[in-house]
Chain A
Amino acid sequence: MSQNLFEGTAEQMSELLKCIEAHRDEAGALMPVLHEAQHIYGYLPAEVQTIIAEELGVPLAEVYGVATFYSQFSLSPKGKHRISVCLGTACYVKGSDKILEAIEKELRISCGECTPDKKFSIDSCRCVGACGLAPVMIVDGEVYGKLSAKDVAGILDGYIKD
């Protein structure tokens, strides 16, 4: 599982336990709990999965199985600024692979990785539904559309200076 040192706060822990409590008697509670846990911690460290398993009375293997099955659940921490490039068909046909390449080059990391200073992480996603703006990239929820590879450096600059 995760090799990263886990640092959770007491507030995060109480929030997690509260969310587990709210879903405890619900059929199929594991998915909603994992969603909220990831929202609290930013990712799903092994320690958090263990707590969820114990509290819900589900084998840890099952929690791990679900957490690794879905691409939105992450077992490693993400950067302060999360970049996501849409590789859905509409964006791909309009050259989103070249946008991704440009970002990887600019930040010197590959898709799925996080910069050593933990400032940026890059992921790809399949369609955010903003096909009218293809190709698009998303930084911290902000959508940048109708891009060309040349626009990338300028957009990232704004976040590097931040």
Chain B
Amino acid sequence: MTCEELKKIAGEKADLINVRRIVREQAEKLAANTGYRKQVLVCGGTGCTSSHSLQVIEQLEKSFKELGIDDVLIVKTGCFGLCALGPIMIVYPEGAFYSQMTPEHARTVAEKHLVKGGELVKELLYAETVHKDGSVIPFSEIPFYKHQMRIALRNCGVIAAESIEEAIAAGDYQALAKVLTSMTPDEVIAEIKASGLRGRGGAGFPTGLKWQFTKEAKGDIKYVCCNADEGDPGAFMDRSVLEGDPHTVLEAMTIAGYTVGAQEGYIYVRAEYPIAVERLNIAIEQSRKLGLLGKNILGSGFDFDIHVRLGAGAFVCGEETALMASIEGKRGEPRPRPPFSAQCGVFKKPTVLNNVETWANIGPILLNGSAWFSSIGTEKSKGTKVFAVGGKINNVGLVEVPMGTTLRTIVYDIGGGIPDGKAFKAAQTGGPSGGCIPAKYLDIGMDFDNLVAIGSMMGSGGLIVMDEDTCMVDIAKFYLEFTADESCGKCAPCRIGTKRLLELLTKITDGNGEPEDLDKIKELARHMKASSLCALGQSAPNPILSAMEHFGAEYEAHIYDKKCPAGVCKSLLNYYIEPDKCRGCTLCKRNCPVSAISGEVKSAHVIDTKTCIKCGQCIAHCKFGAIVKK
């Protein structure tokens, strides 16, 4: 394929994509050029397919046949971001945003809206897009999308996830064409350095510098690797990029190959992401077929190919040396550095490794220029960051905001606040390696350096919101269980340290904590941070240390008063029935496995706290909210 042929493909589908991107009035005019009266985009990402979006597509196809609709295009895309409301379906050129679709709803929309002369089905639209007076606003103007700026996710939910033609029409491979025809490797490195792009995997290392080190390393064989081993539980931005726009990653890796002098690349992806793996394999095949991977790419004489390697469920493989050992088919154990992977990486050859989201930023930077990119964000953190917002928040989903956006904007404006009117307690960033951000820092700008300054870290972008019902000792214990389980066991500080820390925390949540335990935790944490082999052990104590710093009183309550203020730690709680709320329905009594509840029909029941095993069955069955944990 030549650059001209690439342009031709881009041109053929350009209007089709533009209908989905520009304002409604223009889109309506443009739709006439595309041959399709309307386009229906249905999310085919993991979140929405888990809530049966594929059945929605099937039903649409069936209904179209029955109703004789042949001029409406159905497009299976990647993630739209608002996962809490899946399955999501958007109809263009109107930009109508239907949420929580079912096959029945799909049939209704086909019958009433998608037929010729049809009207919006307002009762099925996402409520936020319908004004009180009945008028419909474009979804890009609702709070969830209004505050976002999409660079890495620019094509997710816009293009058909399994179509290379749509990807090209949306701009993929244009940066590659530009680089191969008009830039030297040194110019590429200079541009990436000038953009200020830092690695999105967690550590925030300058990407341009990484490429430069690998280019300068001696060796005839070099490799380019993509870290798609998104191990932080609760983070799913890398998965969404791979599911929604896999070609942006292939393109960026090829650019890096040209820049550092590599002919082969590996994508190391979690086996837990079957859809992402499938789409990657499809994308690689398509790319090879068009000659965008393989020999003599775009007539430049440059050869490059990419292989996919599956992980097998080991968190430590997100660490670069462990990841590379795993690609080599070994146990995924890290090794001491130096030598760094820029000199000695996969198969002992110079290797450049970047995270999926980092790769997704490369194309736009090279197309739009470093000045554009570095104008976004804060002084030392340029561009945008994708956050996977989850936990106790209304709009669970994927958001991309300029660096420096406040936590308050993310939680309240975009995230829609905390469910059930509960109070915000903290947000955990950086997963098991990060820390918590308490309410007093809600107005801090989220960037690499600010988060480190308050004892947390950016990490890969997982952001778990916790409300007043979350116990900070319990959540620290949860993370320690995770790191103790995932410690590879190679070095003693991490292997033994995580175990001992977990024992200390369990002691506290069991009600056996002693005042000196807090000092023991700090002392042990200090040693682990100083002497663990890799980042897993070095950062494992972070969740406890930050929780102790910001929620010290909660730890003290567990130790001195033997109370769990959030009402979570079972050993520290007793169950009581509030007599004024109890109707005497006997449901709790009948469901208590140890017969700890006594009382007559229609009179208040009582729990014998000595017999009670705190299993929670009574609370689960009580219809009157009469049972409390204190």
A residues sitting closer than 8 Å to B (CB atoms) are 27-32, 34-35, 62, 65-66, 69-73, 87-94, 98, 125-134, 136, 143, 145, 148-150
Q: Contacts A127-B233, A131-B47, A143-B50: A28 and B331 contacting too (C-beta < 8 A)?
A: no
Is B83's beta carbon under 8 Å from chain A?
yes
For B51, give its contact among A28, A34, A62, A133 (CB under 8 Å). A133
B-chain residues with CB within 8 Å of residue A128 when the two chains form the complex:
46, 50, 272
Do residues A133 and B50 form an inter-chain contact, with CB atoms below 8 A?
A: yes
- Asked whether, in the complex, the Cβ of A32 is within 8 Å of the Cβ of B391, the reply is no
Contacting pair B328 A134 (CB below 8 A): no
**Chain A residues, Cβ within 8 Å of B464:** 89-90, 93
Is A129 touching B236 in the complex (CB atoms < 8 A)? yes
Nearest 10 CB-CB pairings of A with B:
A132-B83, A88-B233, A70-B312, A90-B390, A30-B329, A28-B329, A143-B50, A72-B313, A71-B313, A89-B234
A72 close to B390 (CB less than 8 A): no
Q: Mark B205-239, 1 if CB is under 8 A from A, else 0.
A: 00000000000000000000000001111111001
- Given the contacts A93-B466, A129-B46, A150-B620, A73 and B312 also touching, CB distance less than 8 Å: yes
- What sequence of 0s and 1s flags, for each residue 316-357 of chain B, a beta carbon within 8 Å of any chain A beta carbon? 000000000011111111000000000000010000000000
Q: Which residues of B contact A66 (CB under 8 A)?
A: 329-331
A23's nearest neighbour on chain B, judged by CB, is B329
Q: Is the CB of A145 within 8 A of B50?
A: yes
Contacts of A34 in B (CB 8 A): 312
Say whether B271 faces chain A, with CB atoms less than 8 Å apart.
Answer: yes
Q: B390 near A69 (CB under 8 angstroms)? A: no
B107: Cβ under 8 A from any A Cβ: no
Chain A neighbourhood of B313, CB < 8 A:
70-72, 125-126
- Using known A-B contacts A69-B331, A132-B397, determine if residue A90 contacts B234 with beta carbons closer than 8 Å: yes
Supposing A126-B233, A127-B236 touch, asked if A31 and B488 sit within 8 A by C-beta, the answer is no
A98 to B330: give the CA distance in the assembly, Å: 36
Decide if B392 is an interface residue (CB 8 Å cutoff). Answer: yes
Chain B residues within 8 Å of A90, by CB: 233-234, 390-391, 396, 464
Q: Which residues of A contact B391 (CB under 8 A)?
A: 89-90, 93-94, 134
Q: Choose from B272, B326, B388, B475 the contact partner of A31 (Cβ within 8 Å).
A: B326
Give the interface of B toward A (CB within 8 A). Answer: 46-47, 50-51, 83-86, 230-236, 239, 271-273, 309-315, 326-333, 347, 388, 390-392, 396-397, 428, 431, 462, 464, 466, 470, 475, 478-479, 482, 488, 616, 620
In the complex formed, the residue of A with least CB distance to B82 is A132
Chain A nearest Cβ from B542, distance in angstroms: 14
Name, among A93, A134, A136, the residue most crowded by chain B CB atoms within 10 Å (CB to CB): A93
**Inside 8 A of A69's CB, which chain B residues have their CB?**
314, 331-333, 488
Kindly provide the distance from the CB of A122 to the nearest chain B CB, expressed in whole angstroms: 16
Contact at A89–B428, with CB atoms within 8 Å?
yes
**Is the Cβ of A129 less than 8 Å from the Cβ of B428?**
no
Contact B83 A131 (CB under 8 A): yes
Contact A131–B234 (Cβ < 8 Å):
yes
CA distance A32 to B331 in the complex (A): 13
| 13 A-B pairs (CB sep. < 8 Å) | A72-B311, A89-B233, A89-B428, A93-B475, A127-B235, A127-B236, A129-B230, A129-B272, A132-B396, A132-B397, A133-B51, A143-B51, A149-B620
Q: Which B residues lie within 8 Å of A145 (CB)?
A: 50-51
- Complex CA gap A129/B309 in Å reads 19
New contact pairs (4) apart from A89-B431, A92-B233, CB-CB < 8 Å: A30-B330, A70-B332, A126-B315, A131-B234
Contact B50 A131 (CB under 8 A): no
Q: Is the CB of A27 within 8 A of B428?
A: no
Chain B residues in 8 Å Cβ range of A126: 231, 233, 272, 313, 315, 482
B46's nearest neighbour on chain A, judged by CB, is A129
Determine the distance from Cα of A110 to Cα of B491 in the docked complex, in whole angstroms.
30
Q: State A73–B313 Cα separation when bound (angstroms).
A: 8
Asked whether A98 lies within 8 Å of B616 as measured between CB atoms, the reply is yes
Chain A's closest residue to B390 (CB) is A90
In the assembled complex, the CB of A121 is this many whole angstroms from the nearest CB of chain B, namely 16
Residues of A within 8 A of B234 (CB): 88-90, 127, 131
- The residue on B at minimum CB distance from A62 is B330
* Residues of A with C-beta under 8 A to B396: 90, 131-132, 134
> Would you call B83 and A27 a contact (CB within 8 A)?
no
By the criterion CB–CB under 8 Å, are B331 and A27 in contact?
Answer: no
A136 CA / B431 CA spacing, docked (Å): 19
- Given the interface pairs A31-B312, A70-B313, A94-B391, the reply to whether A131 lies near B329 with Cβ below 8 Å is no
Contacts of A62 in B (CB 8 A): 330
Residues of A within 8 A of B326 (CB): 31
**A73 nearest in chain B by CB position:** B312
B312: chain A residues within 8 A (beta carbon): 31, 34-35, 70-73
Q: Give the distance in Å from the alpha carbon of A98 to the alpha carbon of B396 in the complex.
A: 21
Q: How far is the CA of A159 from the CA of B620 in the complex (A)?
A: 24
Q: Assess whether A27 is in contact with B466, with CB atoms less than 8 Å apart.
A: no
A94 vs B488: C-alpha distance in the bound complex, in angstroms? 28
Whether B84 and A132, one on each chain, are in contact in the complex, defined by CB atoms closer than 8 angstroms, is: yes
Which of A92, A94, A127, A130 is the one whose CB lies under 8 Å from B50? A130
Q: Is the CB of B272 within 8 A of A27?
A: no
Contacts of A65 in B (CB 8 A): 331
CB of B262, distance to nearest CB on chain A (Å)? 15
Distance between Cα atoms of A93 and B462 in the complex (Å): 13
Residue of B nearest to A130 (CB): B50
B-side contacts of A98, CB under 8 Å: 616
State whether B327 touches A28 (Cβ < 8 A). Answer: yes
- Residue numbers in A under 8 Å from B46 (CB-CB): 128-130
Q: How far is the CB of A90 from chain B (nearest CB, A)?
A: 3
Q: How far is the CA of A125 from the CA of B314 in the complex (A)?
A: 11
Q: A31-B312, A32-B310, A93-B470 are in contact. Are A72 and B236 (CB under 8 A)?
A: no
| Contacting pair B83 A31 (CB below 8 A) | no
Q: From residue A22, how far is it (CB to closest CB) to chain B in Å? A: 14
Residue of B nearest to A29 (CB): B329
Which residues of A are found within 8 Å of B235, using beta-carbon distances?
A: 127
Smallest CB–CB gap between A40 and chain B, Å?
15
B462 touches A129 (CB 8 A): no
Give Cα distance in the complex from A150 to B591, angstroms: 13
- Which residues of A lie under 8 Å from residue B478 when comparing CB positions? 89, 92
Find chain B residues with CB under 8 A from A32 CB.
309-310, 329
Min distance, Cβ A48 to any Cβ of chain B, angstroms: 16
The answer on a CB contact under 8 Å between A87 and B329 is no
User: What A residues does B231 contact at CB under 8 A?
Assistant: 126
Cα(A157)–Cα(B177), bound, Å: 56
Q: How far is the CB of A102 from chain B (nearest CB, A)?
A: 9
Closest-by-CB residue of A relative to B324 is A28
- Rounded to whole angstroms, the CA-CA distance of A93 and B272 in the bound complex is 21
A89 — which chain B residues lie within 8 A by C-beta?
A: 232-234, 390-391, 428, 431, 462, 464, 478-479
Could you tell me the distance between the alpha carbons of A89 and B434 in the complex, rounded to whole angstroms? Answer: 13
What residues of A have a CB within 8 angstroms of the CB of B233 in the complex? 87-92, 126-127
Contact A129 B328 (CB under 8 A): no
Once bound together, how far apart are the Cα atoms of A32 and B308, in whole Å?
Answer: 10
Most buried by A among B86, B233, B273, B464: B233
